[in-house]
């Protein structure tokens, strides 16, 4: 893949970099807008959960139809994450980051003023597309900043902060959404994006250096080749068909799976011939270490999202807790993961945290077997703490691994694909809980989920332990 056309993308000669630039490169002014932007996607993924019933009453639709609002953001995000990374490699990460922030604000306003479900769906798609621009562009901006400062890689704490913002905040959406809906009504879960987006926009314009000028105006045909629009369209079609199949379970619409398979095969054949592939199949086949990082991250996210959504349903359905109370039970997950990410990332550790995350995942999955209608409710808090450990270790270790494994000129797309695999895990968890809790939420169902989680966790442990390409740590 050709290098980004923006001038600052190339690293300057290290011996010409003033020491002051290296020391102040990653100040809070630079990182704040990146962290804010990266937190918007995971928070929005769960923010709406407590608002679905009030939305149904507010716009006059059955409660079952509002589930499409969750699906819409998942679909948009799974497709947009690597697409935004690819666009950032062509147009410059700051430009794409700013465009995403604007989309978030527009989506928030559209949803806040919506009078029907269709407008709300459009709003959620816009929010999904906009928030998906943040993480892959932030990774590129951080790499560029490190290059400009003459650093081989950014300080580990910066990548750790990005993971806290982009992963650990997922469970915050439930209690925050519950509080917003309780005080301001369901429209607030859309409107809240607007002031946050404005803050991120102004901070980026003020504190993040502009992208360099494009080398020359790109004609439409050249732009289509550079972005690989055909590859992006094929990836979107394959993902949409696959996700619709998964969301339709336990009713299996096999034709959707067949359509997805056809699109995946066509996509691979196209990408093998593309001069600037969106999904670099050859790179993924040859860079097996990176492919295993994607697999590990997806498996870990599957278990985490089962806890976020499946265990939450059990707590509400069997133990009788409200949505807000259930959300508060998940807060330890965010707090613990945030405490863990920073020291792991600052030391650039890879192998130990990845293996420890898998071990903790097995322990936590086995612990779900203890849940019952008569069990101590504090056991749920213990489990969320364990999975907070899993989240922190897996996020820090796999992101550090990805930063070292991905080709520099493809970091944006590679980072977006990491998130896509994470969304794949979350969507698979939704399918699992939908199948198991199809008729009712029960102790028997949560124990079935536990056994599934144990199987996934053991697979995660094997992929982690047997991967000899994982370094103990990356170079500072």
Task: Give the pLDDT band (50/70/90) at residue 168.
Answer: low
pLDDT, residue 3, reads: 40
Close Cβ partners of 220 (under 8 Å, ≥ 6 residues apart): none
Say how far apart CA 94 and CA 84 lie, in whole Å: 11
Say how far apart CA 271 and CA 278 lie, in whole Å: 7
In this structure, the answer to whether residues 97 and 167 fall within a common structural domain is: yes
pLDDT, residue 65, reads: 78
In this structure, the answer to whether residues 61 and 187 fall within a common structural domain is: yes
pTM assigned to the model: 0.78
Contact 384, 472 (CB under 8 A): no
How many domains are contained in the chain?
2
In this structure, the answer to whether residues 175 and 308 fall within a common structural domain is: yes
In this structure, the answer to whether residues 54 and 170 fall within a common structural domain is: yes
pLDDT one-digit tens code per residue, 66-112: 878 887 888 888 888 888 988 998 889 999 999 999 999 999 999 99
Say how far apart CA 265 and CA 251 lie, in whole Å: 25
Q: Is residue 470 part of a domain?
A: no
Q: Is the pLDDT of residue 196 over 60?
A: yes
In this structure, the answer to whether residues 157 and 302 fall within a common structural domain is: yes
pLDDT one-digit tens code per residue, 305-348: 888 778 877 887 888 887 677 777 877 887 888 788 878 877 88
Q: Is residue 68 part of a domain?
A: yes
Q: Is residue 445 part of a domain?
A: yes
In this structure, the answer to whether residues 32 and 165 fall within a common structural domain is: yes
In this structure, the answer to whether residues 254 and 340 fall within a common structural domain is: no
Close Cβ partners of 177 (under 8 Å, ≥ 6 residues apart): 46, 47, 48, 49, 50, 51, 189, 327
Task: Give the pLDDT band (50/70/90) at residue 10.
Answer: very low
The DSSP code sequence of 21-43 is HHHHTT-HHHHHHHHHHHHHHHH
* Cross-strand bridge partners of residue 473: 349
In this structure, the answer to whether residues 197 and 253 fall within a common structural domain is: no
Task: Give the pLDDT band (50/70/90) at residue 124.
Answer: very high
Q: Is residue 121 part of a domain?
A: yes
In this structure, the answer to whether residues 289 and 261 fall within a common structural domain is: no
Q: Is residue 19 part of a domain?
A: no
**What residue has token string 């059990």?**
314
In this structure, the answer to whether residues 306 and 259 fall within a common structural domain is: no
Say how far apart CA 26 and CA 460 lie, in whole Å: 34
Q: Is residue 13 part of a domain?
A: no
Q: Is residue 2 part of a domain?
A: no
Q: Is residue 389 part of a domain?
A: yes
Give the residue from 253, 273, 293 where a domain finishes: 273
* Residue ranges making up the domain that contains 233: 229-273
Say how far apart CA 138 and CA 144 lie, in whole Å: 10
Q: Among 295-309, 311-325, 455-469, which is the least confidently predicted range?
A: 311-325
In this structure, the answer to whether residues 48 and 158 fall within a common structural domain is: yes
In this structure, the answer to whether residues 327 and 432 fall within a common structural domain is: yes
Q: Which of 132-141, 271-280, 302-311 has the highest mean pLDDT?
A: 132-141
CATH number, domain containing residue 52: 1.20.1250.20
């Amino acid at each position: 893949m050709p290098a980004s056309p923006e001038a600052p993308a190339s690293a300057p000669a290290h011996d010409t970099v003033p020491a002051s630039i290296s020391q102040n490169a990653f100040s809070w002014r630079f990182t704040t807008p990146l962290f804010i932007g990266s937190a918007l996607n995971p928070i929005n993924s769960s923010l709406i959960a407590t608002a679905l019933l009030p939305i149904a009453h507010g716009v006059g639709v059955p409660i079952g139809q509002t589930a499409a609002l969750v699906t819409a953001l998942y679909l948009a995000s799974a497709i947009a994450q690597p697409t935004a990374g690819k666009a950032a490699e062509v147009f410059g990460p700051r430009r794409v980051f700013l465009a995403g922030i604007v989309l978030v604000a527009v989506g928030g306003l559209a949803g806040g003023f919506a009078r029907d479900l269709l407008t709300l769906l459009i709003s959620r798609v816009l929010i999904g597309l906009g928030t998906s621009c943040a993480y892959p562009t932030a990774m590129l901006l951080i790499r560029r900043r490190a290059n400009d400062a003459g650093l081989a890689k950014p300080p580990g704490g910066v990548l750790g902060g990005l993971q806290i913002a982009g992963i650990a905040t997922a469970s915050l959406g439930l209690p925050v959404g519950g509080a917003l809906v309780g005080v301001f009504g369901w429209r607030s879960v859309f409107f809240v994006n607007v002031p946050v987006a404005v803050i991120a926009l102004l901070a980026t314009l003020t504190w993040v250096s502009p992208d360099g000028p494009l080398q020359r105006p790109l004609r439409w045909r050249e732009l289509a080749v550079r972005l690989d629009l055909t590859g992006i369209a094929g990836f979107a079609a394959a993902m949409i068909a696959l996700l619709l199949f998964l969301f339709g379970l336990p009713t299996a619409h096999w034709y959707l799976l067949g359509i997805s398979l056809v699109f995946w095969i066509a996509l691979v054949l196209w990408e093998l011939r593309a001069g600037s592939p969106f999904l670099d199949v050859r790179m993924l086949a040859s860079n097996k270490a990176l492919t295993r990082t994607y697999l590990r991250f997806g498996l870990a996210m599957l278990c985490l999202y089962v806890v976020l959504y499946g265990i939450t349903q059990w707590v509400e359905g069997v133990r009788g807790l409200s949505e807000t109370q259930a959300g508060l039970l998940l807060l330890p997950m965010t707090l613990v993961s945030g405490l863990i990410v920073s020291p792991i990332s600052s030391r650039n550790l890879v192998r130990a945290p990845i293996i420890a995350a898998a071990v903790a995942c097995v322990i936590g999955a086995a612990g779900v077997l203890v849940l019952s209608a008569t069990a101590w409710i504090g056991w749920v808090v213990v489990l969320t703490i364990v999975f907070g450990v899993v989240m922190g270790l897996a996020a820090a270790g796999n992101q550090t691994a990805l930063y070292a494994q991905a080709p520099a000129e493809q970091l944006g797309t590679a980072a977006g694909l990491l998130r896509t695999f994470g969304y794949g895990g979350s969507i698979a968890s939704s399918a699992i809980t939908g199948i198991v809790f199809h008729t009712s939420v029960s102790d028997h169902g949560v124990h079935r989920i536990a056994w599934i989680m144990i199987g996934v966790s053991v697979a995660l442990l094997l992929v982690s332990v047997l991967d000899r390409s994982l370094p103990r740590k990356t170079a500072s």
